[in-house]
Amino acid sequence: MTVTTVMRSRDPGSKRMFEIVFLGTGGSIPTDNRNHPAIAIRHEGTVLIFDTGEDVQRQFIRARLGLNAPMAIFITHIHADHVIGLPGLILRMSLLGRRRPLQIFGPRELVDYVRLIRSSIGLGTTFETTVYGVKEGKLLERRGLSVEAFRVEHRGPALGYSVTFRRLTGRFHPERAEALGVPRGPLWGRLASGESIIVNGKTIRPLDVCDPPPPPLKIVYSGDTRPCDTLRRAAKNADVLISEAMYTSDRLDLAEERGHMTAREAARLAREANVKTLILTHYSPRYELEMGMPILEEARTEFDNVILARDLMRVTVRRSGIKVTEPATARGNGGSGDKTLRQHGS
Protein backbone atom coordinates (compact mmCIF):
# COMPACT_ATOMS: atom_id res chain seq x y z
CA MET A 1 0.00 0.00 0.00
CA THR A 2 1.29 3.45 -0.88
CA VAL A 3 0.40 6.47 1.20
CA THR A 4 1.05 10.06 0.10
CA THR A 5 0.43 12.91 2.51
CA VAL A 6 0.05 16.55 1.51
CA MET A 7 0.17 18.63 4.68
CA ARG A 8 -1.05 22.15 5.30
CA SER A 9 -1.28 24.23 8.46
CA ARG A 10 -2.68 22.68 11.66
CA ASP A 11 -6.35 23.36 12.39
CA PRO A 12 -8.41 22.45 15.46
CA GLY A 13 -11.32 21.48 13.20
CA SER A 14 -9.36 18.84 11.32
CA LYS A 15 -11.22 15.97 13.02
CA ARG A 16 -14.14 16.77 10.68
CA MET A 17 -13.09 15.18 7.42
CA PHE A 18 -14.11 13.77 4.07
CA GLU A 19 -12.96 10.49 2.62
CA ILE A 20 -13.02 10.21 -1.17
CA VAL A 21 -12.99 6.69 -2.64
CA PHE A 22 -12.49 6.35 -6.38
CA LEU A 23 -14.63 3.40 -7.45
CA GLY A 24 -13.95 3.94 -11.15
CA THR A 25 -11.55 6.26 -12.97
CA GLY A 26 -11.74 5.01 -16.54
CA GLY A 27 -12.74 6.71 -19.75
CA SER A 28 -15.57 5.63 -22.00
CA ILE A 29 -14.18 2.07 -22.19
CA PRO A 30 -13.25 0.22 -18.98
CA THR A 31 -9.86 -1.48 -18.85
CA ASP A 32 -8.29 -4.25 -16.75
CA ASN A 33 -7.32 -1.70 -14.11
CA ARG A 34 -9.95 1.05 -14.39
CA ASN A 35 -13.73 0.82 -14.22
CA HIS A 36 -16.25 3.29 -15.58
CA PRO A 37 -16.58 6.54 -13.56
CA ALA A 38 -17.88 6.36 -9.99
CA ILE A 39 -16.79 8.25 -6.87
CA ALA A 40 -17.85 7.88 -3.24
CA ILE A 41 -17.46 10.72 -0.74
CA ARG A 42 -17.95 9.70 2.88
CA HIS A 43 -18.55 12.09 5.77
CA GLU A 44 -19.42 11.02 9.31
CA GLY A 45 -21.19 7.85 8.15
CA THR A 46 -23.03 9.39 5.19
CA VAL A 47 -22.01 8.11 1.75
CA LEU A 48 -22.50 10.28 -1.33
CA ILE A 49 -22.08 8.51 -4.69
CA PHE A 50 -21.24 10.51 -7.82
CA ASP A 51 -21.89 8.64 -11.08
CA THR A 52 -22.47 4.91 -11.29
CA GLY A 53 -20.48 3.42 -14.11
CA GLU A 54 -20.60 -0.25 -15.08
CA ASP A 55 -19.83 -2.73 -12.25
CA VAL A 56 -19.94 -0.04 -9.57
CA GLN A 57 -21.70 -2.54 -7.30
CA ARG A 58 -18.63 -4.78 -6.98
CA GLN A 59 -16.33 -1.81 -6.49
CA PHE A 60 -18.69 -0.63 -3.77
CA ILE A 61 -18.25 -3.95 -1.95
CA ARG A 62 -14.49 -3.95 -2.42
CA ALA A 63 -14.35 -0.49 -0.89
CA ARG A 64 -16.44 -1.67 2.11
CA LEU A 65 -18.68 1.37 2.04
CA GLY A 66 -21.75 -0.30 3.55
CA LEU A 67 -24.88 -0.88 1.49
CA ASN A 68 -27.22 0.21 4.28
CA ALA A 69 -25.43 3.46 5.15
CA PRO A 70 -27.21 6.84 4.92
CA MET A 71 -26.70 7.55 1.24
CA ALA A 72 -27.57 9.66 -1.78
CA ILE A 73 -26.59 9.22 -5.43
CA PHE A 74 -25.79 12.05 -7.84
CA ILE A 75 -25.57 11.49 -11.60
CA THR A 76 -23.78 14.07 -13.75
CA HIS A 77 -25.35 13.16 -17.10
CA ILE A 78 -27.12 10.36 -18.92
CA HIS A 79 -24.28 8.82 -20.91
CA ALA A 80 -23.87 5.06 -20.55
CA ASP A 81 -20.42 5.12 -18.95
CA HIS A 82 -21.74 7.27 -16.07
CA VAL A 83 -25.08 5.62 -15.35
CA ILE A 84 -25.20 2.04 -16.61
CA GLY A 85 -24.20 0.60 -13.23
CA LEU A 86 -27.10 2.20 -11.35
CA PRO A 87 -29.65 -0.64 -11.81
CA GLY A 88 -27.17 -3.27 -10.58
CA LEU A 89 -26.22 -1.21 -7.54
CA ILE A 90 -29.88 -0.67 -6.58
CA LEU A 91 -30.68 -4.35 -7.12
CA ARG A 92 -27.75 -5.43 -4.94
CA MET A 93 -28.91 -3.12 -2.15
CA SER A 94 -32.37 -4.70 -2.32
CA LEU A 95 -31.12 -8.29 -2.40
CA LEU A 96 -28.93 -7.63 0.64
CA GLY A 97 -31.75 -6.07 2.61
CA ARG A 98 -31.24 -2.34 2.56
CA ARG A 99 -34.00 -0.55 4.49
CA ARG A 100 -32.93 3.09 4.58
CA PRO A 101 -34.54 5.41 1.99
CA LEU A 102 -32.41 6.44 -0.98
CA GLN A 103 -32.46 9.71 -2.92
CA ILE A 104 -31.08 9.87 -6.46
CA PHE A 105 -30.41 13.19 -8.22
CA GLY A 106 -29.49 14.01 -11.79
CA PRO A 107 -30.63 15.74 -14.98
CA ARG A 108 -34.33 15.32 -15.75
CA GLU A 109 -33.51 12.54 -18.25
CA LEU A 110 -32.51 10.42 -15.24
CA VAL A 111 -36.16 10.10 -14.22
CA ASP A 112 -37.05 8.68 -17.64
CA TYR A 113 -34.08 6.30 -17.50
CA VAL A 114 -35.07 4.88 -14.11
CA ARG A 115 -38.70 4.52 -15.18
CA LEU A 116 -37.62 2.61 -18.28
CA ILE A 117 -35.38 0.29 -16.26
CA ARG A 118 -38.12 -0.40 -13.71
CA SER A 119 -40.74 -1.15 -16.37
CA SER A 120 -38.51 -3.19 -18.69
CA ILE A 121 -36.67 -5.44 -16.23
CA GLY A 122 -39.02 -5.22 -13.25
CA LEU A 123 -36.52 -3.51 -10.97
CA GLY A 124 -38.03 -2.95 -7.54
CA THR A 125 -36.51 -2.09 -4.19
CA THR A 126 -36.91 -3.12 -0.56
CA PHE A 127 -36.56 0.53 0.42
CA GLU A 128 -38.09 3.86 -0.53
CA THR A 129 -36.34 5.27 -3.60
CA THR A 130 -36.94 8.81 -4.85
CA VAL A 131 -35.47 10.09 -8.12
CA TYR A 132 -35.20 13.83 -8.74
CA GLY A 133 -34.66 15.53 -12.09
CA VAL A 134 -32.76 18.73 -11.25
CA LYS A 135 -31.10 21.65 -12.97
CA GLU A 136 -28.94 23.50 -10.45
CA GLY A 137 -28.90 24.70 -6.85
CA LYS A 138 -28.77 23.13 -3.39
CA LEU A 139 -30.00 19.54 -3.38
CA LEU A 140 -29.17 18.19 0.07
CA GLU A 141 -28.33 19.57 3.49
CA ARG A 142 -27.62 17.49 6.60
CA ARG A 143 -25.91 18.72 9.78
CA GLY A 144 -23.61 21.16 8.04
CA LEU A 145 -23.07 18.93 4.99
CA SER A 146 -24.50 20.23 1.71
CA VAL A 147 -24.47 19.25 -1.96
CA GLU A 148 -25.11 21.74 -4.76
CA ALA A 149 -25.46 21.16 -8.49
CA PHE A 150 -24.24 23.48 -11.22
CA ARG A 151 -24.44 23.29 -14.99
CA VAL A 152 -21.42 22.37 -17.09
CA GLU A 153 -20.76 22.23 -20.82
CA HIS A 154 -20.89 18.72 -22.27
CA ARG A 155 -22.89 17.10 -25.06
CA GLY A 156 -26.42 17.57 -23.75
CA PRO A 157 -27.62 18.36 -20.22
CA ALA A 158 -24.82 17.84 -17.70
CA LEU A 159 -24.09 18.79 -14.10
CA GLY A 160 -21.16 19.18 -11.78
CA TYR A 161 -21.46 18.96 -8.01
CA SER A 162 -20.02 20.80 -5.03
CA VAL A 163 -19.86 19.09 -1.61
CA THR A 164 -19.32 21.38 1.39
CA PHE A 165 -19.08 20.90 5.13
CA ARG A 166 -19.54 23.99 7.28
CA ARG A 167 -19.00 23.84 11.01
CA LEU A 168 -21.30 26.11 12.97
CA THR A 169 -18.66 26.83 15.62
CA GLY A 170 -14.92 26.79 16.11
CA ARG A 171 -12.96 25.43 19.08
CA PHE A 172 -14.98 25.12 22.28
CA HIS A 173 -13.41 26.73 25.38
CA PRO A 174 -14.49 24.99 28.62
CA GLU A 175 -13.08 27.77 30.79
CA ARG A 176 -15.38 30.30 29.12
CA ALA A 177 -18.40 28.07 29.72
CA GLU A 178 -17.48 27.60 33.38
CA ALA A 179 -16.99 31.35 33.83
CA LEU A 180 -20.52 31.91 32.51
CA GLY A 181 -21.95 29.34 34.90
CA VAL A 182 -22.66 26.62 32.35
CA PRO A 183 -22.35 23.25 34.12
CA ARG A 184 -20.24 20.54 32.54
CA GLY A 185 -22.34 18.02 30.59
CA PRO A 186 -24.89 18.05 27.75
CA LEU A 187 -25.18 21.84 27.70
CA TRP A 188 -21.54 22.07 26.63
CA GLY A 189 -22.28 19.79 23.70
CA ARG A 190 -25.26 21.87 22.64
CA LEU A 191 -23.15 25.04 22.65
CA ALA A 192 -20.32 23.32 20.76
CA SER A 193 -22.80 22.17 18.10
CA GLY A 194 -24.02 25.73 17.51
CA GLU A 195 -27.12 25.87 19.74
CA SER A 196 -27.88 28.73 22.14
CA ILE A 197 -28.96 27.78 25.67
CA ILE A 198 -30.49 29.51 28.71
CA VAL A 199 -28.79 29.23 32.12
CA ASN A 200 -30.23 30.96 35.16
CA GLY A 201 -32.41 33.10 32.93
CA LYS A 202 -29.48 34.24 30.78
CA THR A 203 -28.99 33.32 27.13
CA ILE A 204 -25.58 31.84 26.36
CA ARG A 205 -24.68 31.86 22.66
CA PRO A 206 -22.16 29.57 20.95
CA LEU A 207 -19.80 32.45 20.17
CA ASP A 208 -19.68 33.25 23.87
CA VAL A 209 -17.75 30.03 24.46
CA CYS A 210 -16.46 29.04 21.00
CA ASP A 211 -14.10 30.48 18.43
CA PRO A 212 -15.65 31.64 15.13
CA PRO A 213 -16.29 28.77 12.72
CA PRO A 214 -13.38 27.79 10.46
CA PRO A 215 -13.63 28.05 6.67
CA PRO A 216 -15.71 25.28 5.10
CA LEU A 217 -14.24 22.14 3.58
CA LYS A 218 -15.19 21.89 -0.09
CA ILE A 219 -14.84 19.20 -2.74
CA VAL A 220 -15.96 19.88 -6.32
CA TYR A 221 -16.58 17.25 -9.02
CA SER A 222 -16.58 18.48 -12.61
CA GLY A 223 -18.36 15.59 -14.29
CA ASP A 224 -17.77 15.67 -18.07
CA THR A 225 -17.27 19.17 -19.38
CA ARG A 226 -15.32 21.67 -21.37
CA PRO A 227 -13.68 24.45 -19.29
CA CYS A 228 -16.51 26.79 -18.28
CA ASP A 229 -17.23 29.67 -15.94
CA THR A 230 -19.76 27.73 -13.88
CA LEU A 231 -17.13 25.14 -12.97
CA ARG A 232 -14.54 27.83 -12.33
CA ARG A 233 -16.90 29.63 -9.94
CA ALA A 234 -17.94 26.45 -8.15
CA ALA A 235 -14.29 25.39 -7.70
CA LYS A 236 -13.18 28.76 -6.27
CA ASN A 237 -10.92 28.09 -3.27
CA ALA A 238 -11.93 24.42 -3.15
CA ASP A 239 -9.87 22.08 -1.02
CA VAL A 240 -10.13 19.46 -3.78
CA LEU A 241 -11.23 19.67 -7.39
CA ILE A 242 -11.92 16.27 -8.97
CA SER A 243 -11.78 16.90 -12.68
CA GLU A 244 -12.01 14.88 -15.82
CA ALA A 245 -8.96 15.07 -18.09
CA MET A 246 -9.80 12.90 -21.05
CA TYR A 247 -6.91 13.89 -23.32
CA THR A 248 -3.55 15.55 -23.57
CA SER A 249 -3.31 18.77 -25.57
CA ASP A 250 -2.32 17.05 -28.80
CA ARG A 251 -5.93 15.77 -28.86
CA LEU A 252 -7.50 19.17 -28.22
CA ASP A 253 -9.64 18.73 -31.34
CA LEU A 254 -11.22 15.61 -29.84
CA ALA A 255 -11.72 17.33 -26.50
CA GLU A 256 -13.57 20.18 -28.17
CA GLU A 257 -15.60 17.88 -30.41
CA ARG A 258 -16.64 15.52 -27.59
CA GLY A 259 -17.10 18.02 -24.78
CA HIS A 260 -14.12 17.09 -22.62
CA MET A 261 -11.05 18.78 -21.15
CA THR A 262 -7.39 18.23 -21.75
CA ALA A 263 -5.10 17.79 -18.75
CA ARG A 264 -3.64 21.25 -19.36
CA GLU A 265 -7.10 22.85 -19.45
CA ALA A 266 -8.13 21.17 -16.21
CA ALA A 267 -4.93 22.25 -14.48
CA ARG A 268 -5.22 25.80 -15.75
CA LEU A 269 -8.78 26.03 -14.46
CA ALA A 270 -7.63 24.72 -11.06
CA ARG A 271 -4.94 27.40 -10.90
CA GLU A 272 -7.38 30.15 -11.91
CA ALA A 273 -9.86 28.98 -9.24
CA ASN A 274 -7.20 28.86 -6.52
CA VAL A 275 -7.85 25.19 -5.86
CA LYS A 276 -5.61 23.56 -3.24
CA THR A 277 -5.43 20.06 -4.74
CA LEU A 278 -6.43 18.83 -8.20
CA ILE A 279 -7.28 15.16 -8.72
CA LEU A 280 -7.55 14.03 -12.33
CA THR A 281 -9.82 11.17 -13.36
CA HIS A 282 -11.79 9.84 -16.36
CA TYR A 283 -8.83 9.89 -18.76
CA SER A 284 -8.84 8.01 -22.03
CA PRO A 285 -7.76 4.35 -22.24
CA ARG A 286 -5.32 5.43 -24.95
CA TYR A 287 -2.98 6.37 -22.05
CA GLU A 288 -3.36 3.04 -20.25
CA LEU A 289 -0.04 1.50 -21.28
CA GLU A 290 1.73 4.55 -19.85
CA MET A 291 -0.40 4.34 -16.67
CA GLY A 292 -1.78 7.81 -17.34
CA MET A 293 1.57 9.52 -16.92
CA PRO A 294 1.19 11.78 -20.00
CA ILE A 295 -1.97 13.20 -18.38
CA LEU A 296 -0.22 13.82 -15.06
CA GLU A 297 2.91 15.28 -16.60
CA GLU A 298 1.00 17.72 -18.80
CA ALA A 299 -1.15 18.91 -15.89
CA ARG A 300 1.93 19.60 -13.79
CA THR A 301 3.18 22.09 -16.35
CA GLU A 302 0.26 24.32 -15.27
CA PHE A 303 -0.42 23.34 -11.64
CA ASP A 304 1.91 21.76 -9.07
CA ASN A 305 -0.42 19.98 -6.68
CA VAL A 306 -1.91 17.34 -8.97
CA ILE A 307 -2.82 13.71 -8.25
CA LEU A 308 -3.83 11.09 -10.81
CA ALA A 309 -6.74 9.02 -9.52
CA ARG A 310 -6.67 5.23 -9.64
CA ASP A 311 -9.40 2.73 -8.88
CA LEU A 312 -9.93 2.16 -5.14
CA MET A 313 -7.61 5.02 -4.24
CA ARG A 314 -8.71 6.73 -1.01
CA VAL A 315 -8.17 10.41 -0.28
CA THR A 316 -8.75 11.75 3.23
CA VAL A 317 -9.45 15.49 3.23
CA ARG A 318 -8.97 17.56 6.39
CA ARG A 319 -8.23 21.22 6.89
CA SER A 320 -4.72 20.19 7.91
CA GLY A 321 -4.14 18.56 4.53
CA ILE A 322 -4.91 15.43 2.54
CA LYS A 323 -3.70 11.85 2.71
CA VAL A 324 -3.75 9.65 -0.39
CA THR A 325 -3.82 5.86 0.03
CA GLU A 326 -3.51 3.69 -3.06
CA PRO A 327 -4.45 0.00 -3.07
CA ALA A 328 -1.57 -2.46 -3.08
CA THR A 329 -2.51 -3.55 -6.60
CA ALA A 330 -2.14 -0.03 -8.06
CA ARG A 331 0.22 -0.02 -11.00
CA GLY A 332 2.95 2.57 -11.26
CA ASN A 333 2.91 3.54 -7.60
CA GLY A 334 6.65 3.25 -7.22
CA GLY A 335 6.54 -0.01 -5.28
CA SER A 336 5.09 -0.99 -1.95
CA GLY A 337 5.59 0.80 1.33
CA ASP A 338 4.77 4.30 2.52
CA LYS A 339 5.79 7.46 0.74
CA THR A 340 5.31 10.91 2.22
CA LEU A 341 5.19 14.15 0.26
CA ARG A 342 4.99 17.46 2.10
CA GLN A 343 3.88 20.56 0.25
CA HIS A 344 3.24 23.88 1.93
CA GLY A 345 1.40 26.90 0.64
CA SER A 346 -0.57 24.78 -1.82
Q: Which residues are designated catalytic?
A: 81
Position 148, amino acid: E
DSSP 157: S
Coil/strand/helix, residue 250: helix
Query: Using an 8 Å Cβ cutoff, are 84 and 110 in contact?
Result: no
Give the span between the Cα atoms of 337 and 316, in whole angstroms.
Answer: 18
Position 265, amino acid: E
Give the span between the Cα atoms of 23 and 65, in whole angstroms.
Answer: 11
Neighbours of 184 (CB within 10 A): 9
Give the span between the Cα atoms of 69 and 100, in whole angstroms.
Answer: 8
For 101, 116, 127, 259, the CA distances from 121, given in Å and listed in that order, are 21, 8, 18, 32
Neighbours of 12 (CB within 10 A): 12
Burial status of residue 137 (CB atoms within 10 A of its CB: 0-12, 13-18, 19 or more): exposed
Q: How many helices (H) and strands (E) does the chain have?
A: 11, 18
Position 23, amino acid: L
Residues 6+ apart with CB under 8 A from 266: 222, 227, 243, 244, 245, 278, 280, 299
For 4, 168, 171, 188, the CA distances from 185, given in Å and listed in that order, are 39, 19, 17, 6
